[in-house]
Amino acid sequence: MSALSERPENPVVGVPEPHESAVGHVTGTALYTDDIAARGDALSAWPVQAPHAHALITGMRFEKALQVPGVVRVLTADDVPGINDAGVKNDEPLFPTEVMYYGHPVCWVLGESQEAARLGAAVVEVDYDPLPSLVTVRDAIEAESFQGPQRLTRRGDADAALASAPHVFEGVTEFSGQEHFYLETMASLAYYDEGGTLYVQAGTQHPSETQEIVAHVLGLSNNEVAVQCIRMGGGFGGKEMQPHGLAAIAAIGTKLTGRPVRLRLNRTQDMTITGKRHGFHVSWSVGFSDEGKILGLKATLTADGGWSLDLSEAVLGRALCHLDNAYWIPDIEALGRISKTNKTSQTAFRGFGGPQGVFVIEDIMGRCAPELGIDPAELRRRNFYVAGQDTPYGQPVRHAERMHEIWDQVLENANFTERSTEIAAFNAAHPHAKRALAVTPIKFGISFNVAAFNQAGALVLVYKDGSVLINHGGTEMGQGLHTKMIQVAATALGVPRSAVRLAPTRTDKVPNTSATAASTGADLNGGAVKNACEQIRDRMAGVAATMLRTSPNDVRFSHGEVTALGQHDSVTFNDVAKEAYLQRVQLSASGYYRTEGLHWDSEAWFGSPFKYFAYGAAATEVEVDGFTGAYRIRRVDIVHDVGDSLSPIIDIGQVEGGFVQGMGWLTLEDLRWDSSDGPGRGRLLTQAASTYKLPSFSEMPEEFNVTLYDRAHEDGVVYGSKAVGEPPLMLAFSAREALRQAAASFGPAGATRELASPATPENVFWALQQAAARGVDMPNDAATAPEPSLAGS
Ligand code: MTE
Ligand code: MOS
């Protein structure tokens, strides 16, 4: 077992602990960026948003705005001292001359109050010269409007495999994006400290990049800007890249006025300005053997990138690397490309392209199983990776056997066989209501695809009284990273959890950090925190050895007691800390961690980009009403692999939350954009909770059983754990597949089972109508029927 993954006796990791801010969250004492901003005399910033999907800006006049009481000034491109760009790809002008999407902010008004700034923004006069726009991916494909490089993942000869396969199907799979709908909208607060450092408190998953962009927009060096993130009310990937430009607006305001400046988007602004999950258009052909083994796959994936690249290349990359999900695809050729459309710039969202890749293969499984005459659960299982196989991009699938074990366990926990029989009986007895139970797997790669990002730092301070303060480079967005880091520090130092406090994430404590993303927060920062604690503990062991008259190697730290092997005497951690100070032994350390063993060639699309895979499976039962398509999620059983959990309550919460968020994307949340030729072309139509349906209490599964996979120690990761943040989102495919199967049950066995996405009650209704209609002229044994084309769902 590696030193990194080995746990001491009685560790604080693994203990079920509530979230470190749980009490603050429910009592309202946990502060968010705008709570802090609201305490001072900060100016407020308000955007002027363009009412065109695509247009040139030909003039702007501010006289009327400046006459509004309380308006202080208007920020434009002329106010940018450094580089007028909010991104890292040089394609995101912070103040545009060309409007790229409906709602694009063209300038910002500063006011003494939000109300003053709002009224000022309403009377700014802007002249536009409208240009033709592309609103849908299909439009963009037709116009060949792409951005960034195209990527090809290839193994073997997919054409030959399809030519010789006994069963070949082809189709188009389309799905749309997802709004992050974090409860806390984008917020930042900028101010100067006495020495001239520009401070920015921001809701950002990537404080170091916020710092860099603020610096480059203001023409400063990084050491003149400090970014802090206390916590976020959800990020979900949406705050990985897109807070930077907004923080820069606040910072410019501070630079020009000398006053603190506060910028907080309201919900509609957040929804219409910031990027979302990428929707995709995918065309595919797949070949199966008579036994239902995938022989070959060809696909073209087109991501809807929106107006600029931001993280689209990386999202597309992860989609291509998850096209296989848990399945062995011997011959494959998949092209990935990013369309450029006149929409918000689509960005990271929990799973980061992984869910989009998995969507394709799970859709293929769900659609083809009845054509092959094989039960969908059985079809999936038959295609699982087995030990010794590699992914299409060349990474060995280590622990492939876990997928099989987890699958068996979830089928057992869910009473799959028994309930399937009961469901068949229910369906036979109920012509207007149908139930279905579906099970789907997930295999998800952990690490950033860019090797350099897989590093982290920490700063740990032990005070003379033995109390401990930790800093690390990761951010807290509700996922419980800080709770885990406290548990890691307490374990590594051998102190009780109560001895450890955590200071907010700041770029002037830990520099050059990576985004808290790709679910790597605990792996990376945990490694760094542990490293820092061990440096201090090793020095303290020397001090304790003299106190206990033993050798440093025989000193043990546990729960605040320091003992020597084979001795009854002990001293307290606090006494050792005090003694260390008196002996002039350093009680602070900066820790560092980098993930070993990763390599990736993005040109050849080949390597081992992931440290390991996280596995899971879910079985979901639904009931669909034949008159309306309305449905209920009756029961969900999940078995998920988090290694040896660092913090079981947190991990179960992540699995539950991830599942429900995935269910929202796949079954409820319906992003609509105006693609008409009217004056609202390109406008996001669903820009509030009234029109954008999120999962809420009423959509929670009626019975929800989450089991963490047992005996799951992951060697080479901090205390044997595995990342949990994103993978469980993809367990929600079981809900979509159950809805597909229930809708199909309204028709004859073996009928084609297409289901448009998201599987809203409306789309489920059309699917069940289609299934019922097919009953009229489809043969019952589709396996022997001529192969229909599945194109055009
Ligand atoms: N959980 C909560 N409550 N809120 C969030 O914003 N973000 C998710 C996931 N779980 C998120 C969350 C995303 S997109 C990622 S990448 C991970 O948490 C990031 O944190 P981690 O690396 O510490 O798991
Ligand atoms: Mo998560 S989408 O990697 O922030």
- How far does the centroid of ligand 1 lie from the alpha carbon of residue 19, in Å? 14
Tell me the pLDDT band of 752, cut-offs 50, 70 and 90: low
* pLDDT for residue 306: 98
Report residue 201: phi and psi, to 5°.
Answer: -95, 120
β-pair partners for 348: none
Q: Which atom of ligand 2 is nearest to the CA of 519?
A: 3
Q: Which atom of ligand 2 is nearest to the CA of 205?
A: 4
Q: Would you say 304 and 726 are in contact if contact means Cβ atoms under 8 Å apart?
A: no
Give the Cβ contact number of residue 585 at 10 Å: 15
Whole-angstrom CA distances from 286 to 357, 440, 450, 566, 705 are 15, 19, 30, 66, 34
Q: Above 80 in pLDDT, residue 783?
A: no
Tell me the pLDDT band of 781, cut-offs 50, 70 and 90: very low
Q: Above 50 in pLDDT, residue 40?
A: yes
Tell me the pLDDT band of 753, cut-offs 50, 70 and 90: confident
The residue among 249, 286, 240 whose CA lies nearest residue 88 is 240
Q: What's the average model confidence in pLDDT over 654-673?
A: 98
Q: Would you say 21 and 491 are in contact if contact means Cβ atoms under 8 Å apart?
A: no
- How far does the centroid of ligand 2 lie from the alpha carbon of residue 209, in Å? 15
Q: Which atom of ligand 1 is nearest to the CA of 521?
A: 22
Q: Above 80 in pLDDT, residue 756?
A: yes
- How far does the centroid of ligand 2 lie from the alpha carbon of residue 238, in Å? 8
Give, for 707, the enclosing helix (H) or strand (E): strand 703-708
CB-ligand 2 contact for 239 (6 Å cutoff): no
* pLDDT for residue 789: 40
Tokens matching residue 81? 């001292």
Query: What average pLDDT does the structure give for the chain?
Result: 96
Q: Above 50 in pLDDT, residue 791?
A: no
CB-ligand 1 contact for 741 (6 Å cutoff): no
- Residue 589 identity: A
Tokens matching residue 186? 């984008």
CB-ligand 2 contact for 530 (6 Å cutoff): no
- How far does the centroid of ligand 1 lie from the alpha carbon of residue 724, in Å? 8
CB-ligand 2 contact for 448 (6 Å cutoff): no
Q: Which residue from 350, 454, 593, 660 has its CB within 8 A of the most atoms of ligand 1, so it is best to mutate?
A: 350
Ligand nearest to the CA of 240: 2
pLDDT per position as a tens digit, 369-402: 999 999 999 999 999 999 999 999 999 999 999 9
Ligand nearest to the CA of 480: 1
CB-ligand 1 contact for 479 (6 Å cutoff): yes
Q: Which residue from 479, 505, 519 has its CB within 8 A of the most atoms of ligand 1, so it is best to mutate?
A: 479
Percent of the chain's residues with pLDDT above 90: 94
CB-ligand 2 contact for 302 (6 Å cutoff): no
* pLDDT for residue 149: 96
Q: Which of helix, strand or coil describes residue 457?
A: strand
Q: What's the average model confidence in pLDDT over 75-94?
A: 96
Q: Above 90 in pLDDT, residue 777?
A: no
* pLDDT for residue 519: 98
Distance CA 172, CA 285 (A): 9
Q: Which atom of ligand 2 is nearest to the CA of 351?
A: 2
Q: Would you say 756 and 763 are in contact if contact means Cβ atoms under 8 Å apart?
A: yes
Tell me the pLDDT band of 792, cut-offs 50, 70 and 90: very low
- How far does the centroid of ligand 2 lie from the alpha carbon of residue 353, in Å? 10
Q: What's the average model confidence in pLDDT over 292-296?
A: 98
List CB contacts of 568: < 8 A, sequence separation 6 or more.
none
Q: Above 70 in pLDDT, residue 484?
A: yes
Location of structure tokens 């959990």 = 645
Q: Which residue from 178, 241, 321, 352 has its CB within 8 A of the most atoms of ligand 2, so it is best to mutate?
A: 352
CB-ligand 2 contact for 182 (6 Å cutoff): no
pLDDT per position as a tens digit, 185-200: 999 999 999 899 999 9
Q: What's the average model confidence in pLDDT over 497-510?
A: 98
Q: What's the average model confidence in pLDDT over 284-305?
A: 98
CB-ligand 2 contact for 517 (6 Å cutoff): yes
Q: Would you say 475 and 516 are in contact if contact means Cβ atoms under 8 Å apart?
A: yes
Whole-angstrom CA distances from 505 to 153, 203, 472, 473, 474 are 38, 11, 6, 6, 7
Q: What's the average model confidence in pLDDT over 628-633?
A: 97
Ligand nearest to the CA of 278: 2
Q: What's the average model confidence in pLDDT over 66-92?
A: 96
Classify each residue of 277-299 as buried b or exposed e, where b means 16 or more C-beta atoms within 10 Å of its C-beta. bbbbbbbbbbbbeeebbbbbbbb
Give the Cβ contact number of residue 428 at 10 Å: 9
Classify each residue of 469-484 as buried b or exposed e, where b means 16 or more C-beta atoms within 10 Å of its C-beta. ebbbbbbbbbbbbbbb
Q: Above 70 in pLDDT, residue 787?
A: no
Location of structure tokens 């952990």 = 446
- How far does the centroid of ligand 1 lie from the alpha carbon of residue 323, in Å? 22
Q: Which of helix, strand or coil describes residue 42?
A: coil
Torsion sign (Cα): 356, 391, 517, 402:
positive
CB-ligand 2 contact for 723 (6 Å cutoff): no
* pLDDT for residue 775: 66
Whole-angstrom CA distances from 183 to 180, 241, 330, 748 are 9, 18, 43, 44
CB-ligand 1 contact for 481 (6 Å cutoff): yes
* pLDDT for residue 226: 98
Beta strand spans in 123-186 (E): 125-130, 146-155, 167-175
Location of structure tokens 């999907």 = 53
- How far does the centroid of ligand 2 lie from the alpha carbon of residue 457, in Å? 19
**Which amino acids are annotated catalytic?**
726
* pLDDT for residue 774: 79
List CB contacts of 109: < 8 A, sequence separation 6 or more.
45, 46, 47, 48, 65, 71, 73, 74, 75, 117, 118, 120, 121, 124
Query: Strands 433-446, 455-462: parallel, antiparallel or unpaired by DSSP?
Result: unpaired
pLDDT per position as a tens digit, 258-292: 999 999 999 999 999 999 999 999 999 999 999 99
Whole-angstrom CA distances from 605 to 152, 153, 158, 318, 608 are 7, 6, 16, 11, 10
Q: Which atom of ligand 1 is nearest to the CA of 352?
A: 14
Classify each residue of 509-541 as buried b or exposed e, where b means 16 or more C-beta atoms within 10 Å of its C-beta. bbeebbbbbbbbbbbbbbbbbbbbbbbbbebbb
Q: What's the average model confidence in pLDDT over 566-579?
A: 96
Q: Above 50 in pLDDT, residue 780?
A: no
Q: Which residue from 231, 236, 484 has its CB within 8 A of the most atoms of ligand 1, so it is best to mutate?
A: 236
* pLDDT for residue 790: 41
Tell me the pLDDT band of 176, cut-offs 50, 70 and 90: very high
pLDDT per position as a tens digit, 604-626: 999 999 999 999 999 999 999 99
Tokens matching residue 705? 């059983």
- How far does the centroid of ligand 1 lie from the alpha carbon of residue 37, in Å? 25
- How far does the centroid of ligand 1 lie from the alpha carbon of residue 465, in Å? 34
Q: Which atom of ligand 1 is nearest to the CA of 182?
A: 6
Ligand nearest to the CA of 651: 1
- How far does the centroid of ligand 2 lie from the alpha carbon of residue 522, in Å? 13
CB-ligand 1 contact for 54 (6 Å cutoff): no
CB-ligand 1 contact for 235 (6 Å cutoff): yes
Three-state SS for 278-301 is CCEEEEEEEEECCCCCEEEEEEEE
Distance CA 264, CA 179 (A): 18
pLDDT per position as a tens digit, 9-29: 999 999 999 999 999 999 999
Tell me the pLDDT band of 79, cut-offs 50, 70 and 90: very high
The residue among 444, 282, 477 whose CA lies nearest residue 354 is 444
* pLDDT for residue 776: 57
Q: What's the average model confidence in pLDDT over 332-336?
A: 98
Q: Above 90 in pLDDT, residue 459?
A: yes
Q: Which atom of ligand 1 is nearest to the CA of 653?
A: 3
Q: What's the average model confidence in pLDDT over 550-572?
A: 96
Q: Which of helix, strand or coil describes residue 528?
A: helix
